[in-house]
Structure formats: C-alpha cells, structure tokens
Homo-oligomer: A and B are copies of this chain.
Amino acid sequence: MINKFVASPEAALADVPNGATILIHGFGNAGMPAELIDALIAQGARELTIVNNNAGNADTGLAALIGAKRVRKILCSFPRQADSWHFDRLYRAGEIELELVPQGTLAERIRAAGAGIGAFFTPTAYGTKLAEGKETRRIGERDYVLEYPIHADYALIKADRADRWGNLTYRKTARNFGPLMAMAAKCTVVQVRETVELGEIDPEHVVTPGIFVHRIVRVPASLKRAA
C-alpha cells in the first residue's frame, strides 16, 4: 500500500545533507512551511542553497534558518523587506550570496526543472542589470533572455489537505509556488493542515498530483505558532 505519510517533520528531513539545494514554498508567510523549516534548523544541515520568493521575515521560519547561518546562497525575487533583518545583516557582511531573479522568471525556472525543459527564452529583464552576461535573442518582435531551470534536492511545501498518495490541495493565495516546487525537487516534503482518506479530494480538484510528492507530515492548525 502506498503511504507517503511520515511521523514528524524531523523524520521527513532526517536525510538532508550539507550543501543541499532546497526550494521553500511561500510568498511571505502564506504557504511558508514553518514547522518543516524548524525541523530543518534542528536537523543541522549547513551550506544550503535556498530558493524562496523572499529572504525571510522577522525571526521565524526562513529568517531563522538564515539567522542560524545555514544558508550559503539564496535565490529570490524580493529579499529586502522592513523585517528582513537577518538576511540584511548577513548580506551586508558578505556572508550570504544572493541571486536576484525576477519573480516570474523564478517561477518559470522552477517549473522548467519540473517539466524537463532545458532552458527557455523570457522577455523579462531584457536590457536590465539582471540580464547582464546572459544570452539574449530577438524572436519575432520581442527581445528575450535565456534562462535555465532551478533543480533542487528537496522542496518544503505547506499545503492544505493531502491523501496517502500525495494528492494535494492548497488554500487561497497560499498556493503560490507550491505546485511548481513540488515538481522540481528530487524529494518533495509537504506539511498539511489535514490528512484525508483516498478519494476525499475530488480528482477534478487535485492541484498537485501525488506523483510529485514523496513525504507528508500533518501539522494541525492548532499546533501552529502565534505568527
């Protein structure tokens, strides 16, 4: 019997090695897998490359991972926020590498990894600092920049519901990067609010099919930290 449920965030992340590339779901706090990140901090892996839209807020979640100096490099679209002090401090000290990627290009590069696309031409960032040194091409009447996929070892995702095959639904704008990141990692680890019996998710409403999901941990909303 296929059963992708695992007992705890700690068990789900026990094998993360130093130097791993990890996609972390979430746009700000919406979709951020806080308990999985806590487990990653506790697990101790270092020299990580992290992919997230942002670079953490305040002192929890991704910000705590960065603050604990576990992150060698981050790929994101919007690191600078009022409360991104952990990232700001390490960035100014030269202790964390930043690859700034336009948000749509970030999403598309993650999708490309999941969908087996080797590279793609996007119009975004053409003629800007963020395309410096990159291959460009005029196709039709638009100019494009060549961008490459972002493959990862792990994806850490927060979804709403999951069944034991790994079919997922999300909640409102907490969907954001989740379905893309789930496709792009060798091992996709998901925390969900609720686990359900097979068949409780209508096959028309599955957002991430189980083929993309490897490990699922239930984190009931009642256990959630006061954010």
Contacts and interface: CB of A to CB of B under 8 A. Distances in A.
A217 B158 CA distance: 38
Contact of A122 (B117, B139, B205, B207): B117
Given A148-B139, A204-B205, A121 B120 contact: yes
A199 interface: no
A142 interface: yes
Contact of A108 (B117, B122, B139, B171): B117
A149 to B, nearest CB: 9
Interface string A187-209: 00000000000000001110100
Interface in A165-202: 169-172
A87 interface: no
Interface string A93-116: 000000000000000100010011
Contacts of A170: 204
Interface in A97-153: 108, 112, 115-123, 137, 139-140, 142, 144, 148
Nearest to A126: B118
B204 A169 contact: yes
Q: Which among A108, A120, A122, A169 has the greatest number of chain B C-beta atoms within 10 A?
A: A120
18 contacts: A116-B122, A116-B123, A118-B120, A118-B121, A118-B122, A118-B137, A118-B139, A118-B140, A118-B144, A119-B120, A119-B121, A119-B137, A119-B144, A120-B121, A170-B204, A171-B204, A172-B203, A205-B205
Interface of A: 108, 112, 115-123, 137, 139-140, 142, 144, 148, 169-172, 203-205, 207
